[in-house]
Structure 1
Amino acid sequence: MSGMTVDRRRFCRGLAALAGLLIGFFAVLAGPAAPASAHAALANSDPANGTIVPDAPNKITLNFTESVQLLNGKIQVLAPDGSRADQGEPVAEGGTVTIPLRSGGGRGTYLVSYRVISADSHPVGGSITFSVGAASATPAATIDDETVDPVVRALIPVGKYLGYAGLVLLVGPVLVLALLWPHRLSRRGPGRLVWLGLGLVAFSTLVAIWLQAPYSTGSGLFDVRVGDLRDVLGSTFGAIMLVRLGVICAAALLLRPLLRGTGNDSKTDLALLGVLGVAALATWPLTGHPTASPVAGVSVVVDAIHLAAMAVWLGGLVMLVGFLLRQADERELGAILPIWSRWAATAVAALIVAGVVQALIEVSSLDGLFFTTYGRLILVKVGLAAVVLVMAYFSRRLVRSKAAEAEPKGLRRVVWAELAVTAVVLGVTSALVQIPPARSAEASQTAGVSTTVTKTLTDNKMALQIDVFPAAVGNNSIHLYAYTLDNKPLTVVEWTATAALTAKGIEPIEVPLLRITDFHAVGDIALPAAGEWTFKVTARTSDIDQSTLSTTVTIN
């Protein structure tokens, strides 16, 4: 009895130490308040950010690097006078959001603020400006498009960790009870473990639904409104969470005979539990990074396999160290341990293969591995996993040598060490799902960065704006705008333009121009080489008046 008390004290001390380690780990991850880390990025817009257009458009188009979903009331367009310029509801199709505008918009600078949900359930916020005719003071935004409450951001990985822990305490123990558990041993202890796992998965799912509301809208933890929860439940994220809750309820009914050990658990029930397990596991990748990867179908399957292998392996270790190595006799261990050893080897192999495939998809480059937060956490996870694999190797040697059957304490110590390190690995995994993958981080750095070169030229008669896009070797678009010196549109009767690269012996090439409005002309030209190109523009404003202006543009 005293030995059991000592074991319980050691168990409690171990759990307390592990809890402290994980709390510190999540505290470091949470860090100070900062803008949301978008997992999608605004690739471009029409009108483009910072540009000047001659006439007010009837719509604005935002193109994102991934599919997005709209949030109610989180997209607005403000006119130069601060009034709302958008009209009707915006529409999202894949990664394209279209915002209809009121007709007859005035001159000046417009502000477009947006906050949407990316395919992997993370908020994406920001703003762009464009001007009609001429720039003016930028109107002040009336919605918060980027903030995420720091408490909400810190609690999300904690909730995910509880869900992963629940999977471990559910999947592995159920498999052991169904296929390896000796009939003479009581199932009360393992049954409590399974119910705890089921409860943790259900609790983490409810927490995820609640946190998604303030995470999406940028509000506080307790500022959630009924409408916010309704929007979450009506989204793809909410639908998948409801599926997970339904699977949990169905599994609870099928688990009762197995956990009681009444002998009424049929093969049909076990098969149904397997189907439900697969369905439940799929809900994790369907609300995370895999859905937004370049090969979404592969990523979802690989991530589900990764989770399943983790749950089988760690859950089986919990059953070994918590029950079998203490309660089973030498004969029973001699039958159980070799089978478990093969299971563990298979699960570890699946973990390694799935992990490598995931890393290749999400990291995509060596720079992404070493110079992004996601990549560095992957390296930390790989290092910890290597430590666990070494421990698993020694435990497998113990099993093969039969020493564990006669003296299970040594094996129990190794398994405890495996569980301690893998608990930290789960913490790293919980953090990874909240951090933009390396591929998204790299896309965010380049997306939305306009390659348009804009130059403004003046003489004593006019001001000329020239836009060159994309300012790279190959086909380029040229936009020309003419203004008076007091920044009003100036009618141009005839436009001519040339481009030359004298440093490489390229003589002036005429740019074919099309007059779009009185003061705006466009043209296309193929630039064959990189360098400092000289653009010369002549704008004739009457039969006797004209201006010729030139500038250099760097073509990459």
Structure 2
Amino acid sequence: MTAALRHARDRGRWLAWIAAIAVMLWPALAAAHASLVASVPAADAVLATSPQSFTLTFNEQVTVVRLQLIDPRGRSHPVSAIDQDAATLRFAPPVPLGQGAHLLSWRVVSADGHPVGGTLTFWIGTPGNRLPAIEVPDDPVRRTAIWLTRIVAELTLLMAVGGAVFLGWIAAAPPRGARATSIVTALLGLAALVVSVGLQGLDVLDLPLARLGEAAVWRAGGSGSFGDAATLSGIALVVALAALRWRGWNARLLSLGAVVSLGTAFAVSGHAATAEPRTLASAAVWVHGVSLALWIGALLPLALAIGKRDTAPATLRRFSRTIPAAIVALLISGVALAAVELGRLDALWQSDYGRVLVAKLVLVGLLLGLALWNRVRLTPRVLAGEGAAVRTMRASIMAELMLVIAILGVVGLWRFTPPPRGVTAEAAELVHLHGERAMATVTLTPGRAGPVAIDVVLQTADEAPLPAQALTVTLANPEAGIEQLSAEAQKTPDGPWRAELTAPVSGRWTLTLGILISDFEKVNLEGPIVIR
């Protein structure tokens, strides 16, 4: 054996040993983050009187990032005077504590540089299910920016995709300037989508507009269902741009692809993404978005098309035959969504969501009345070639677009008003989590804010029972202004794993299951879950 071969063999042996040691140490290295090992008071403790001091003990020394106490009225009180002794934090209550439920939320940086956090609940006096209605700090400038950007993004999306469909399927001949207008609209929509992702990240992390350039903000904004919806909306706009550049059947097929992507974008995000029955809600949102695009997107190119004497009659007749079907679908899907989201009739006037819906219905009624007047009174006159009727219809179409902008502005308020069904539901919440190596059926009982029991049935990807050594259940909701909650699940005699947590506030949470299959293998499953 030559010296070179011996050297290569020896080097291979060293690499094998290093790899083996790394594999053996990997579980320990992966679990090297700090964790809370003890607290005074303990999680879910019931105290007769207010504690004079608090203690948090970790498994290693930590650096405090944020520590806050939330009182029964939902007000957050930061803790700044902290006495740290190695891995133990001691501090006094920042304010006098009264009777009721309190939340202690902490976020620290472990020795390996990773931030970790958690929240524990304790009661003073008589325990109960009533938890603080957390007051989430609000930035009016950020909220206004989110609202305005949403209006621009949705309006341009509807107009660009609907305009591509109109030019490909309805217009007898493309009116002058219609393609260029739709292309500019689509490009503006793409820009608004990009900005909306950054604003979403600021909202998730509760940061001011000045922090918009940070990478963490964009990662937070692009994650979850909002990121999925933004991606699908971007695809819809790009496909619409391609349809506007092509002619004939290529343009028609591309415009249909843009419509499908638009409808799916509407269906994967927002309140309807968490409504039950999920299939009905998602289908209704899909139909609602598509119908709205077909109608609204046709208005501006129609206003340009009716000025062409040779092709205007054919275009107007096609529009009059096809758009009523879209309006009927729009109304039916809207009624279905209102029934799902409201849950009960009195929520129409007793909830903020219902009052926003009433305002929207008033504006929609005006829009429908204007559309009906256009069809019954103006369309015959335009078809007869009256020049004054053409000018009047164009002015009417512009008025319709102004009403659409007002409707989108009102609907944008739903971004900040949860639907009543998200508050009144009392039943258990059931979700399915899927991964390449494992899947889980998770049941929260009851499916509302407060103490919840989380039952987990683990299976392999081919639906066989999955044996596991340990299971960690984590709930996270950054928008609530508190840190994540975690608990080690216990195996029950009848098969499922069970963990008990106290979810302090309703809303959309991220559920994470850490499944330890063996000493060398851990699988994480993650998905959204709604707590009523």
TM-score range, shorter chain: 0.5 to 0.7
Q: Report the equivalent of 2:215.
A: 226
**Which residues of structure 1 form unaligned runs of 5+?**
1-45, 60-72, 88-101, 116-125, 136-143, 258-264, 451-556
Q: Report the equivalent of 1:380.
A: 359
Whole-angstrom CA distance in 2 between matches of 1:246 and 1:315? 17
Q: CA deviation at 1:204?
A: 1.9
Q: Report the equivalent of 2:181.
A: 193
Rg larger in 1 or in 2? 1
Whole-angstrom CA distance in 1 between matches of 2:325 and 2:295? 9
Asked if 1:324 corresponds to 2:305, the answer is yes
Q: Report the equivalent of 2:394.
A: 412
Q: Report the equivalent of 2:324.
A: 345
Contact 2:271–2:419 (8 Å) recurs in 1: yes
> For 2:346, what is the secondary structure of its paired residue?
helix
Residues 357-383 of structure 1: per-residue CA shift (max 9 Å, x gap): 111011111221101111011111111
CA RMSD after TM alignment? 4.4
Equivalent residues in 2 for 1:238-257, closer than 5 Å:
238-257=227-246
2:202 aligns with one of 192, 197, 214? 214
2:350 aligns with one of 358, 371, 374? 371
Number of aligned residue pairs: give it: 345
Whole-angstrom CA distance in 1 between matches of 2:233 and 2:180? 21
Whole-angstrom CA distance in 1 between matches of 2:151 and 2:403? 14
Q: TM-score, normalised by structure 2?
A: 0.55
> For 1:433, what is the secondary structure of its paired residue?
helix
2:154 aligns with one of 155, 159, 164? 164
Q: CA deviation at 1:448?
A: 4.3
Would the alpha carbon gap of residues 280 and 350 (structure 1) be closer, same or farther in structure 2, given more than 3 Å must change? same
Asked if 1:301 corresponds to 2:301, the answer is no
Contact 1:333–1:405 (8 Å) recurs in 2: no
> For 2:210, what is the secondary structure of its paired residue?
coil
Q: Report the equivalent of 1:548.
A: none
Would the alpha carbon gap of residues 382 and 49 (structure 1) be closer, same or farther in structure 2, given more than 3 Å must change? farther
Residues 280-299 of structure 1: per-residue CA shift (max 9 Å, x gap): 33223322111111222322
Whole-angstrom CA distance in 2 between matches of 1:84 and 1:193? 63
Contact 1:168–1:197 (8 Å) recurs in 2: no
Residues 164-204 of structure 1: per-residue CA shift (max 9 Å, x gap): 21023212221221123344x654x1122211221232122
> For 1:130, what is the secondary structure of its paired residue?
strand
Contact 1:114–1:145 (8 Å) recurs in 2: no
Contact 1:163–1:204 (8 Å) recurs in 2: yes
Q: Report the equivalent of 2:312.
A: 333
Whole-angstrom CA distance in 2 between matches of 1:170 and 1:422? 14
> For 1:252, what is the secondary structure of its paired residue?
helix
Would the alpha carbon gap of residues 235 and 168 (structure 1) be closer, same or farther in structure 2, given more than 3 Å must change? closer
Contact 2:168–2:255 (8 Å) recurs in 1: no
Contact 2:163–2:298 (8 Å) recurs in 1: yes
Whole-angstrom CA distance in 1 between matches of 2:409 and 2:287? 19
Whole-angstrom CA distance in 1 between matches of 2:414 and 2:319? 30
Whole-angstrom CA distance in 2 between matches of 1:375 and 1:404? 41
Whole-angstrom CA distance in 2 between matches of 1:390 and 1:163? 26
Matched to 2:287, the amino acid is I
> For 1:437, what is the secondary structure of its paired residue?
coil
Whole-angstrom CA distance in 2 between matches of 1:299 and 1:84? 51
Whole-angstrom CA distance in 2 between matches of 1:232 and 1:74? 22
> For 2:411, what is the secondary structure of its paired residue?
helix
Would the alpha carbon gap of residues 105 and 199 (structure 1) be closer, same or farther in structure 2, given more than 3 Å must change? same
Equivalent residues in 2 for 1:57-206, closer than 5 Å:
111-113=103-105, 129-130=121-122, 146-183=136-173, 187=176, 189-206=177-194
Would the alpha carbon gap of residues 134 and 325 (structure 1) be closer, same or farther in structure 2, given more than 3 Å must change? closer
Residues 11-52 of structure 1: per-residue CA shift (max 9 Å, x gap): xxxxxxxxxxxxxxxxxxxxxxxxxxxxxxxxxxx9558667
> For 2:359, what is the secondary structure of its paired residue?
helix
Whole-angstrom CA distance in 2 between matches of 1:324 and 1:129? 64
> For 1:334, what is the secondary structure of its paired residue?
helix
Whole-angstrom CA distance in 1 between matches of 2:421 and 2:248? 46
Contact 2:83–2:90 (8 Å) recurs in 1: no
Contact 1:334–1:402 (8 Å) recurs in 2: no
Whole-angstrom CA distance in 2 between matches of 1:48 and 1:273? 56
Would the alpha carbon gap of residues 280 and 76 (structure 1) be closer, same or farther in structure 2, given more than 3 Å must change? farther
Whole-angstrom CA distance in 2 between matches of 1:246 and 1:356? 28
> For 1:112, what is the secondary structure of its paired residue?
strand
2:414 aligns with one of 429, 432, 445? 432
Residues 509-544 of structure 1: per-residue CA shift (max 9 Å, x gap): xxxxxxxxxxxxxxxxxxxxxxxxxxxxxxxxxxxx
Q: Report the equivalent of 2:489.
A: none
Contact 1:76–1:113 (8 Å) recurs in 2: yes
Q: Report the equivalent of 2:369.
A: 390
Whole-angstrom CA distance in 2 between matches of 1:249 and 1:84? 55
> For 1:287, what is the secondary structure of its paired residue?
coil
Matched to 1:237, the amino acid is F
Q: TM-score, normalised by structure 1?
A: 0.53
Would the alpha carbon gap of residues 51 and 165 (structure 1) be closer, same or farther in structure 2, given more than 3 Å must change? farther
Would the alpha carbon gap of residues 393 and 252 (structure 1) be closer, same or farther in structure 2, given more than 3 Å must change? closer
Whole-angstrom CA distance in 1 between matches of 2:44 and 2:294? 51
Residues 481-503 of structure 1: per-residue CA shift (max 9 Å, x gap): xxxxxxxxxxxxxxxxxxxxxxx
Whole-angstrom CA distance in 2 between matches of 1:48 and 1:324? 67
Asked if 1:237 corresponds to 2:226, the answer is yes
Would the alpha carbon gap of residues 132 and 106 (structure 1) be closer, same or farther in structure 2, given more than 3 Å must change? farther
Q: CA deviation at 1:211?
A: 0.6
Would the alpha carbon gap of residues 82 and 276 (structure 1) be closer, same or farther in structure 2, given more than 3 Å must change? same
Contact 2:306–2:316 (8 Å) recurs in 1: no
Whole-angstrom CA distance in 1 between matches of 2:343 and 2:171? 43
> For 1:337, what is the secondary structure of its paired residue?
helix
Whole-angstrom CA distance in 2 between matches of 1:336 and 1:112? 64
Whole-angstrom CA distance in 1 between matches of 2:125 and 2:413? 47
Whole-angstrom CA distance in 2 between matches of 1:84 and 1:148? 31
Would the alpha carbon gap of residues 422 and 231 (structure 1) be closer, same or farther in structure 2, given more than 3 Å must change? closer
Whole-angstrom CA distance in 1 between matches of 2:209 and 2:326? 38
Whole-angstrom CA distance in 1 between matches of 2:251 and 2:380? 36
Contact 2:46–2:125 (8 Å) recurs in 1: no
Residues 385-431 of structure 1: per-residue CA shift (max 9 Å, x gap): 11221222221113663554422233334333323323211211222
